[in-house]
Structure 1
Amino acid sequence: MPETLLDIVRREGVGQLGAYFRPGAYTGQWFETFAGGGDRADTRDRIVVDDLYAVEALNVQVPFAVGTELLDGRLGRDVSARLRQLPTVAELGADGTDALVADGGPADQAWQLLVDRNKRTGVGWVIAGKLLARKRPRLIPVYDSIVRCQLGAPKRVWLTLHDQLAANDGELRAALAEVRAIVGVDDKVSVLRVLDIVLWRRHEKAHRRTDPAACPRLRCVRL
């Protein structure tokens, strides 16, 4: 029977997060903190070289043509305009943040700009999400095919996670923060990222061993 996110975090959170942040275990443990983070005051509203390099810690690479457009082109200016509408303190699950990640909202607009395949500079949905998660780690989740499989591939994952994190006066957010504190991870690693790590770690091996379309754990989380 599918488990809830809260069940999983309470039972597996400390072990999964601790394993991820064991020294030398995963390059992704530097994603949030590299060069001071993507949401630091001097670069929070624009994509910079540090961000392009940081996403490589999560095993993706921004194509060179996209990178140049983000650093010094129209694409970068357009994405920056949307980032300026997304406060760095906005946290998924908090009051009012659902409007920021709703269809047609500033986060969605930025994501659409990045994945627009009609442009020479379009990138896939995984890279687009990781770039935005680097810039707004409290608001935008790191999301790939493994985590999507764990969650049952919801159509509007940002809003779905917002509802989960807001439920019962933020009970899930509190549980994630507790796991982070127990493991001793830098609080620059958001609770949203803690959730991603727990879900990714518990499913990564099983997902890679099988055809993703037939993955036996497709709906192992109840949302």
Structure 2
Amino acid sequence: MTADLCGELRRVSTLAEMIAPMVEAPSVWSAKPVGWRDVADDVMGLARKRVLEALLPAGPRPVGERLARFYDRDGDYAGATFAALSPNPPNDLTAVDLHAVSMLSVSVGPRATRRLLDDGPSRNDVLEALEAVPVMDLHVAGPEVLEAMGHLYTTVKGYLSAPTTAHPNRWVTASKICARKRPALFPVRDRVVCGYLGLLDLGSWQADYQVFRSLLGDPEVQQAVDAAADAADASAGDRRLRIDTERLRILDAALWTYPSRRDDDEQGSEE
């Protein structure tokens, strides 16, 4: 796929931005479900500041070079294969999905694999929750979608842990499974990204979803993500790149590759 075509695919979602000045954005895009706490302005502000920093085209760690390494098809990062690996039926969960998730440095054990893939009540629960989540972009997700996202996430997380576990918290693995099934809707939440954005101590997937929705609806962030993808193409050199088409996936990649310290385990978030 040519760089020009990749660029055009990445810009499909800009139609909404072209129309936006002509109509008032519905308030549902910033509304939250009943019972969800507000996210403080200082938390939102810090996350936005750090996102824009991670998307800078210049400096000691320019985003274009980082993304070029991440999306190099001959490299050893997951790159776009995480979301693009086929088949990926939107309302089913298969062994291919679990393999794709394993490329992001998490594993699904034998017991959890059987719960998720073998016919039975646990798999039925997951598939029912998955079907209730629409295929759409996070920045236009309203309260009902956020609630459906939360239900899928908590259902998957519950079946990843042993029933005898005192404090089950497979939040990273569950987040990555959800992101695999809805790559434009679920952020890949782990200690690297949440820690960098200042969200880890909140220990709240509800807050994380609201912060990422706000970021993806920010025109300056949108432009910076698109520019970062273009910068990766420009930095490719002889490398063969396959860049994600979803802004959320590109943003996740830029955030994950920016902090200098890696710590992707499941600890450190009470949910």
TM-score range, shorter chain: 0.7 to 0.9
1:28 equivalent among 72, 78, 98: 78
- Runs in 1 of length 4+ with deviation above 4 angstroms? 120-123, 184-189
Of stretches 22-31 and 130-139 in structure 1, the one that deviates more from structure 2 is 22-31
Structure 2 partner of 1:174? 223
Aligned residues: 196
Q: Tell me, what secondary structure is at the counterpart of 2:184?
A: coil
Q: Distance in 1 between matches of 2:262 and 2:77?
A: 20
- Equivalent residue runs for 1:77-156 within 5 Å: 77-88=124-135, 90-94=136-140, 97-100=141-144, 102=146, 105-116=147-158, 119=163, 124-153=170-199, 154=202, 155=204, 156=207
- Pair 1:13 & 2:60 matched: no
Q: Distance in 2 between matches of 1:85 and 1:171?
A: 31
User: CA separation of 1:120/1:177 partners in 2, compared to 1, >3 Å: closer, same or farther?
Assistant: farther
User: CA separation of 1:189/1:100 partners in 2, compared to 1, >3 Å: closer, same or farther?
Assistant: farther
Q: Distance in 1 between matches of 2:102 and 2:144?
A: 26
- Pair 1:191 & 2:247 matched: yes
User: CA separation of 1:101/1:13 partners in 2, compared to 1, >3 Å: closer, same or farther?
Assistant: farther
**Length-normalised TM-score, structure 2:** 0.64
User: CA separation of 1:177/1:80 partners in 2, compared to 1, >3 Å: closer, same or farther?
Assistant: farther
Unaligned runs of 5+ in 1: 214-223
Does the 8 Å CA contact 1:98/1:162 hold for their aligned counterparts? Answer: no
Unaligned runs of 5+ in 2: 1-45, 234-240
Does the 8 Å CA contact 2:63/2:232 hold for their aligned counterparts? Answer: no
- Pair 1:163 & 2:178 matched: no
2:220 alignment partner AA: E
Of stretches 142-151 and 153-162 in structure 1, the one that deviates more from structure 2 is 153-162
Of stretches 134-143 and 118-127 in structure 1, the one that deviates more from structure 2 is 118-127
User: CA separation of 1:178/1:100 partners in 2, compared to 1, >3 Å: closer, same or farther?
Assistant: farther
Q: Distance in 2 between matches of 1:159 and 1:85?
A: 19
2:173 alignment partner AA: I
Larger radius of gyration: 2
Percent identity, aligned pairs only?
Answer: 23
1:166 alignment partner AA: G
1:59 alignment partner AA: S
Does the 8 Å CA contact 2:63/2:231 hold for their aligned counterparts? Answer: no
Q: Tell me, what secondary structure is at the counterpart of 2:86?
A: helix
Alpha carbon RMSD of aligned pairs, Å? 2.6
Structure 2 partner of 1:221? none
Q: Distance in 1 between matches of 2:163 and 2:68?
A: 41
1:188 Cα deviation from its structure 2 partner: 4.3
**Length-normalised TM-score, structure 1:** 0.77
